[in-house]
Amino acid sequence: MATIRQRGNRWQCIIKRKGHPLLSNTFDLRKDAEKWARQQERAMDAGQWIDRTEAEQTTLEELLKRYAKEVSISKRGKDAEEVRIEQFKKTNLAKYSVASITGQMVAEWRDSRLKEVSGSTVCRDLTLLSHVFSVAIREWGIALHSNPVSLIRKPPAGKPRDRILTSEQRAALVGACGQCQSPWVKPVVVFALETAARRGEILALTWRDVDLERKVAKVSGKTGSRSIPLSPACVSMLRSLPRSLEGHVFPVTIETLKQAYARAVTRASIQDFTFHDLRHDALTRLARLGLNILELRSISGHATANMLQRYVSIDAGDLAKKLAAR
């Protein structure tokens, strides 16, 4: 039987039931305390009661911190994921207890986020948030009725970006990167343009992964490990680099790289060209050199040819020239 008593200007409800922990909650109105008591006792009578104390006392921000410490730390792309987690922690959603977060709240955040970034970026954000809730429910024993992310629609990914640099723009970008305060920005960008490697793969690269004699490097990313060829320009650049004490080829943080790269793009007078577009540019140039689909996939690490196709821009004019040459 629930006991409800007034404490100051609020109402405290205490439920003692054999076989269950002592439950206590405080409300502004007596009717809210009575309603809560009925809900708890009804669930106990039906054998459906679960202890939601931890879920009610844990905020999403606290959950994200634990996820970063226990889950993200072991991932290959941990640096990029930690940046995404830090962005989540700054949202209003992060201030709520995980028990109170509904699908509607996540949907409102989704719609607001779509005004700032692409559908593809929001999809990646939602995938991470969904996994945070799933781990909390399945592995940490935090009692939630459901994963709120699973209740909402994901936005369409949108059309693949089609940004390719001209040779003049490419030279201007590399030159602008050379003006950055960090001496590592230019080498990172050159490596990206020459190898089509992902940002996380580049920043995780160590000298043990590089064989300058064979002109290959082993990169590890979200699709596993693979060996990629190094062009003469890439080998020359790598030979000129000092060796860092911790062994990383490019000892620069993802945040420093992001900010410096954005400023370099502006200095080069290039519009709307993200770091990931370097991968698109590199793969398109490799395709134009005549590499076949299997060779391109071995370099890019794409699981399917369809995914690779999103990154390679094929110009109809170039195809017409090939047909005319036959």
DSSP 123-159: HHHHHHHHHHHHHHHHTS----SS-GGGGSPPPP--S
Could you tell me which CATH class the domain 57-151 is placed in? mainly alpha
- Report the pLDDT value the prediction gives residue 63, as an integer from 0 to 100: 95
The confidence score (pLDDT) of residue 148 equals 94
| Domain covering 167-319 in this structure, CATH number | 1.10.443.10
Q: For residue 128, which of 64, 79, 220 has the smallest C-alpha distance?
A: 64
Instruction: Tell me, yes or no, if the pTM score tops 0.75.
Output: no
- Catalytic annotation on 222? yes
pLDDT of residue 20: 80
Q: How far apart are CA 277 and CA 211, in angstroms?
A: 26
Cβ atoms 154, 121 nearer than 8 A: no
Of 198, 199, 280, 297, which is the active-site residue?
Answer: 198
Confidence at residue 10, expressed as pLDDT on a 0 to 100 scale: 93
| 227, β-bridge pairs | 218
- Has 145 been annotated as catalytic? no
DSSP states of 157-200:
--SPP-----HHHHHHHHHHHTTSSSTTHHHHHHHHHHH---HH
Residue 102 burial (CB count, 10 A): 15
Give, to the nearest 10 degrees, the angle between helix 167-177 and helix 254-267. 130
Segment-wise mean pLDDT, segments of 10 residues, the chain, 326 residues: 88 87 87 89 79 83 94 80 90 92 94 88 93 93 89 80 85 96 96 93 93 93 83 94 87 93 95 90 86 82 64 56 56
Q: Which one of 31, 35, 214, 222 is the catalytic residue?
A: 222
Both structure tokens of 257? 């790289």
Among the options 76, 279, 280, 297, which is catalytic? 279
Q: In 10 A of CB 246, how many CB atoms?
A: 7
**Which among 226, 248, 276, 288 is annotated as catalytic?**
276
pLDDT at 167: 92
Model pLDDT, residue 67: 95
Q: How far apart are CA 150 and CA 127, in angstroms?
A: 10
Is 110 noted as a catalytic residue in this protein?
no
Let me know: does 311 contact 302? Beta carbons within 8 Å. Answer: yes
Residue 91 confidence (pLDDT)? 93
Give catalytic status of residue 154 as yes or no. no
- Specify whether 76 is catalytic: no
d(C-alpha 261, C-alpha 144), whole Å: 41
To the query of whether residue 66 is one of the catalytic residues in this protein, the response is no
pLDDT for position 52? 73
